[in-house]
Chain A
Amino acid sequence: MKALYIASTGMSAQERNVEVISNNIANMRTTGFKKQRAEFQDLLYQTHRRAGSTTSSQGSLVTAGIEIGSGVKTAATPRIMSQGNVNPTEKELDVAIRGEGFFMVAMPDGTTAYTRDGSFERDDTGQLVNVDGYAIQPGITIPGNASSVSIGADGTVEAFLDGTSTPTQIGQLQLARFVNKAGLESAGDNLFRETAASGPAQVGTPNSEGTGDLLQSYLELANVNSVTEIADLIAAQRAYEMNARVISGADEMMSATTQLR
């Protein structure tokens, strides 16, 4: 009797499901967070009697065979890369992306990571960095005498230097986009890394080539919808309970067998 093992695959799948949902809920207020969804697939089937095999010399066929499944597996936890809501913050170095692109972050190990979290700061040298102090690529240094930094929808960074009345361009933000955004690897700290599945990053200026445009003084909220997450959580919990019930049912059947004399 495989029912015990089948139900245990169901329980571990639902456990995984609850993990994914709880991570989504935990990150409900994380800037630029993209929610994940656990996707399940059925496991292999054992064919006891094959549909379409011949049942008589007259050529009659088995119309429907016997296939016994062996449970469920977690196939993937793809990220849903939909746009999150944007929220005004009144902070001049907060930038939200409206569209498909990612900011590029120079990691200490020399690699590049990608993020939707545009809550930038300037460090002691005036360089534009993320909250962990990693430089944004391409590097932009805001001079000490600059005031009123403005970031345009197309990524141009301008500032008034020394109280001049005309703004000076001090840099140009660029965005990366991927053929398969859902294939990016999550690195934590709101960062993603390029993988073979995502394809190479294609760097472009904002507002062109489908990268999306920038919104200064806004931040992108997580795209987690609390109502659907809670509904999914309830469904996962009930599914877990039902699988547990199947295990105890199978157990009772087996105990009935052992009581046979």
Chain B
Amino acid sequence: MIENAQLIGLSRQIALQRQMDVVANNVANINTTGFKSEQLLFEDYAMPVARDRDFRFADQGLSYTQDWATVHDLTAGPTVQTGNPLDLALSGEGFLAVQTPEGEQYTRAGSLQMDNSGTLVDLNGNPVLGQGGPMQFTPDETNLTIAPDGTVSTSEGVKGVLRLVEFDRPQDLARGGNNLFSGGTPRPATDTQVVQGSIEKSNVSGVSAMAEMIRVQRSYESVTNLMQRQDDLRRTAIQRLGDNNA
């Protein structure tokens, strides 16, 4: 028979392992353009059935650890100047919209490219959307300029306005990898500016990620210790009881 204390310890260990995965993913993406770090939230799960009412005082409810949600930390990452006209950083909470085979998705990674047909695309080749669809350029155009409000102009004049979106509830966004977010209810951005010639770095802070990792590691060890003690306790109990019977 496994005792409740061990089961609770186990639930905490599983949650901590998962948190370690989250920390590892943040650290792995410490140099990823436009990456937003993740935090794991826990809640306790009160177990109403595991009670023994034979004692005079009823047992207290048991609380298991359960991971509840990963939240996107959407604070801005540092902006680095690159001087490349196709590098965009966004200041404010908005996202760039890109057209993917799975529909419109959103990104903060503004290192854009031009494909062989002259379409403005992201690093995966997905067209970056303007307010009237993908942005197209002819081979003769030079001097691509993107104004803070997203207006794109070249030597041929104004070509359109980038589709910038903001979200009332950004936590609804799902991560799809490739620096893309999907879902949510986008609305046209009101508070987002485009900075041309810069990119937004990852917002993972190395120091806090390391501190978090050490905390996870130490809590894991202390839970392990706790389970060890519990096991010792049981062993001793069995030995003593066994001796008495003999």
Task: Report which residue of A2, A7, A235, A246 has the largest number of chain B beta carbons within 10 angstroms of its beta carbon.
Answer: A246
If A3-B21, A242-B27, A246-B213 touch, whether A63 touches B171 (CB-CB below 8 Å) is: yes
Kindly state whether residue B241 has any CB partner on chain A within 8 Å.
Answer: no
Q: What mask results when residues 7 to 40 of chain B are scored 1 for a CB within 8 Å of chain A, else 0?
A: 0000001001110111111011111110100101
Pick the contact of B32: A37, A72, A179, A256 (CB < 8 A): A72
Known: A183-B113, A261-B231. 11 other contacts (CB 8 A): A2-B24, A6-B28, A9-B28, A41-B123, A42-B32, A42-B175, A45-B174, A82-B83, A180-B118, A253-B216, A256-B224
CA distance A259 to B227 in the complex (A): 11
Contacts of A256 in B (CB 8 A): 220-221, 224
Instruction: List A residues at the B interface (Cβ < 8 Å).
Output: 1-4, 6-7, 9-10, 13-14, 17, 37-45, 47-52, 62-72, 75-76, 78, 80, 82, 99-100, 177-180, 182-183, 196-199, 202, 209-210, 235-236, 238-239, 242-243, 245-246, 249-250, 252-253, 256-257, 259-261
Q: In the complex the two chains form, is A245's CB within 8 Å of B70's CB? A: no
Q: In the complex the two chains form, is A7's CB within 8 Å of B217's CB? A: no
Contacts of B173 in A (CB 8 A): 51
Q: In the complex the two chains form, is B30's CB within 8 Å of A242's CB? A: yes
Kindly state whether residue B67 has any CB partner on chain A within 8 Å.
Answer: yes
Question: Distance (Å) between the CB of B44 and the closest chain A CB?
Answer: 16
Kindly state whether residue B117 has any CB partner on chain A within 8 Å.
Answer: yes
Q: In the complex the two chains form, is B22's CB within 8 Å of A69's CB? A: yes
Kindly state whether residue B133 has any CB partner on chain A within 8 Å.
Answer: no
If A180-B114, A210-B142 touch, whether A7 touches B70 (CB-CB below 8 Å) is: no
Contacts of B25 in A (CB 8 A): 6, 42, 68-71
Q: In the complex the two chains form, is A253's CB within 8 Å of B31's CB? A: no
Q: Which residue of A lies closest to B173 (CB)?
A: A51
Kindly state whether residue B131 has any CB partner on chain A within 8 Å.
Answer: no
Q: In the complex the two chains form, is B22's CB within 8 Å of A42's CB? A: no
CA distance A229 to B136 in the complex (A): 32
Q: In the complex the two chains form, is A246's CB within 8 Å of B24's CB? A: yes
Q: In the complex the two chains form, is B209's CB within 8 Å of A242's CB? A: yes
CA distance A245 to B26 in the complex (A): 13
Q: In the complex the two chains form, is B70's CB within 8 Å of A64's CB? A: yes
CA distance A198 to B231 in the complex (A): 66
**Interface majority SS (helix, strand, loop, mixed), chain B:** mixed
Pick the contact of B171: A4, A43, A45, A51 (CB < 8 A): A51
Q: In the complex the two chains form, is A42's CB within 8 Å of B84's CB? A: no
Question: Distance (Å) between the CB of A246 and the closest chain B CB?
Answer: 5
B-side interface size class? 35 or more
Q: In the complex the two chains form, is B175's CB within 8 Å of A76's CB? A: no
CA distance A242 to B28 in the complex (A): 9
Pick the contact of B31: A43, A78, A183, A239 (CB < 8 A): A239
CA distance A258 to B221 in the complex (A): 11
Q: Which residue of B lies closest to A65 (CB)?
A: B69
Contacts of A2 in B (CB 8 A): 21, 24
Q: Which residue of A lies closest to B71 (CB)?
A: A64
CA distance A245 to B207 in the complex (A): 12
CA distance A201 to B16 in the complex (A): 55
Q: Which residue of B lies closest to A11 (CB)?
A: B28
Q: What mask results when residues 67 to 107 of chain B are scored 1 for a CB within 8 Å of chain A, else 0?
A: 11111100000000011101000000000000000000000
Please name 5 pairs of A and B residues whose Cβ atoms are closer than 8 Å in the assembled complex, sorted by A: A39-B111, A62-B69, A69-B175, A80-B82, A198-B116
Kindly state whether residue B178 has any CB partner on chain A within 8 Å.
Answer: yes
Q: In the complex the two chains form, is A243's CB within 8 Å of B38's CB? A: no
Pick the contact of A42: B41, B178, B210 (CB < 8 A): B178
Question: Distance (Å) between the CB of B234 and the closest chain A CB?
Answer: 11
